[in-house]
Amino acid sequence: MTDVIISNGRIIDGSGAPAFEGSVLVQDGKIEAVGAVADQKAAKLPGLKRIDASGQTVMPGLIDTHCHLSFDDAGSNSEIFFQRRNGLSALIASYNARKLLRAGVTGLLDPDSTFENMIDLRDAIDANIVEGPRMSCGAYALITGVGGTAGRLIADEGVTGYYMPVNNKDEIVQEVRRQIKYGADWIKVHVTGIIPRQAHKGELCVWTMDELKLICDTAHDLHTPVMGHCRGAEATKKAAEAGFDLIFHATAMDDDALQAVIDRKIPIAPALTFQYNMVEFGKKIGTSDNLMALFERELTESIETMTIAHKEGVPLLTGSESGFSLVPYGDWHYREMEVFVKYFGLSPLEAIQCATQKSAFGIKMEGEVGVIAPGYRADIICVTGKVEEDLSILGNPDNITTVMIDGVEKDLSSPPKRKPIQGWRLASIGKQKLTREVAYGEAQAPEPPHIEELH
């Protein structure tokens, strides 16, 4: 391990403090000193590697707390459920992990994965077999027999893609213990799901309070935290009161749900980049106006509750929802910060703090990563430009010149270009029905996808 001095950069330390000019000294994989003290110590260490960060921002690496590496930019749940193969899925995920490094991501929480195979990728990264960000993982997402967010696509029992239904209390305890035994860092629960006949009501809470408490009690007894996919006030309130440690989305909260979260200071990862991309770029991919309006409401209706939660000290964590075609790997991991600034009123420095210091919670490394300060692990990136003045510069990998984890610089070269894999994607014969009007008259717009296919 080579000791390093990073000089002449503007440091954003991840604590929310303003940027300042100075140096960062890295020794034995940790930050030894910052500022003038770093320069003084470096002067006595002639063998140091030196990185000139002139014109660059030196900051903690980004942490993405909602990234599905095994999904491989899927276009639908059907593709994930029925087209994926275990070994190939893990191999492709390792390929995609390199894209995250190039995007400045040094840590990620993968909530659930096909075949639980991101536990294996995590271990391979930890063992230095493949290169990728630090990973913290869930296993299969727990659901009830009602299903998750894909309705009748999900089998009543057994694994479907990344889902595992548990149909009674004995199965809940058995599955939670099994996942922990096989290496899950977190237990993931789909607290809400869509019932096809009632899809117009949106996602509904599909668990009883006793069931949710049983999940938390079983996991917590084995020192494992619980995270929940929650859309709607009832689900968020129940999850908070049951003892969940992290809540995804938390949209459509009412006063009672918001207060339950505030009272317990439960971190929220809204993971609204998917919706933000749909609102801003839906026209370019043929999305219907009605669907774009639906996703925009999910953003705008969260403004008041997320703003209050932030002001009341609830940590907001950043998550891209990468794994789907609307949020492909490597392109959008910074963008949740833009959501926080535009919709929830955070300053850019506060948003950066959410993506670094606060999101360290998602990888279970609070106080160890996410801040540039003595004693922290040296998970550091160097970015050309002033990031706090334009967060979007993080979206161009060419602007990210250095990525290090534990003081070790990572390979930022582009991965080799992929070729098509037979049977990996759903075949398509077109986006439109070939009616006579399409064949001989003016083409009609493609039909919008079903809502169940978008979650």
Give pLDDT, residue 417.
Answer: 94
133-147, 173-187, 419-433: lowest mean pLDDT where? 419-433
Residue 182 sits in the same domain as residue 249: yes
Question: Across residues 138-148, what is the average pLDDT?
Answer: 92
The answer on 88 and 53 residing in a single domain is no
pLDDT tens by residue, 64-96: 999 999 999 998 889 999 999 999 999 999 999
Contact (CB, 8 A) for 61 and 106: yes
For residues 113-126, average pLDDT: 98
Q: Is residue 435 in some structural domain?
A: no
- Note whether 14 and 75 are same-domain residues: no
The verdict on 178 and 85 lying in the same domain is yes
- Residue that is last in its domain, among 333, 352, 378: 333
pLDDT of residue 285: 84
Q: Are residues 46 and 72 in the same domain?
A: no
Query: Looking at the 3D structure of the chain, how many domains does it have?
Result: 2
Task: State residue 426's pLDDT score.
Answer: 87
In a domain, 70, yes or no: yes
d(CA 196, CA 206): 13
In a domain, 448, yes or no: no
pLDDT at 448 over 60: no
Quick check: 55 pLDDT over 80? Answer: yes
Query: Above 60 in pLDDT, residue 429?
Result: yes
Q: Do 53 and 91 belong to one domain?
A: no
- Give the CATH number for residue 176: 3.20.20.140
Give 251-279 pLDDT, tens digit per residue.
999 999 999 999 999 999 999 999 999 99
Q: What pLDDT, on a 0 to 100 scale, did the predictor assign at position 439?
A: 77
What pLDDT does residue 452 have?
44
> In 3D, which of 143, 122, 12, 126 has the Cα closest to residue 67?
122
- Copy the structure tokens of residue 273: 């980049």
Domain extent, residue 47, equals 1-60+369-413
Last residue of a domain, one of 312, 333, 354: 333
Residues 167 and 289 in one domain: yes
| pTM as predicted | 0.95
**Between 426 and 99, where is the model more confident?**
99
Residues 6+ apart with CB under 8 A from 225: 185, 186, 187, 219, 245, 246, 364
Q: What's the rounded mean pLDDT across residues 139-146?
A: 95
- Residue 447 confidence (pLDDT): 52
The confidence band for 428, taking pLDDT boundaries of 50, 70 and 90, is confident
- Domain presence at residue 433: no
242-246 average pLDDT score? 98
Same domain, 145 and 89: yes
Whole-number mean pLDDT of the chain? 94
**Does 409 share its domain with 296?**
no
Is the pLDDT at 449 greater than 90, yes or no? no
Q: Which residues are paired to 33 by β-bridges?
A: 25
Q: Is residue 452 part of a domain?
A: no
Tokens linked to 367: 């106080």
> Which position has the token pair 């993080």?
394
- Asked, for residue 339, whether it belongs to a domain, the answer is no
The answer to whether position 67 is within a domain reads: yes
Mean pLDDT over residues 341-349, rounded?
97
- Calculate mean pLDDT across residues 323-336: 96
Q: Cα dihedral angle (210, 213, 215, 220), rounded to 10 degrees?
A: -160
Q: What is the pLDDT of residues 394-403, one digit of tens each?
A: 999 999 999 9
Question: Does 70 lie in the same domain as 45?
Answer: no
Verify that 77 and 41 share a domain, yes or no: no
Average pLDDT for 288-294:
87
Residue 36 has pLDDT above 70, yes or no: yes
Residues of the chain above pLDDT 90, percent: 84
Cβ of 386: how many Cβ atoms within 10 Å? 15
- pLDDT at 443 > cutoff 70: no
Lookup result for tokens 């970015």: 383
Q: What is the CATH number of the domain that holds 407?
A: 2.30.40.10
| 241 and 329, same domain (yes or no) | yes
CA distance 103 to 226: 28
What's the chain's length in residues?
Answer: 455
Q: What is the percentage of the chain residues whose pLDDT exceeds 70?
A: 96
- Asked if residue 350 is part of any domain, the answer here is no
Look at residue 454 in the predicted model and tell me its pLDDT: 42
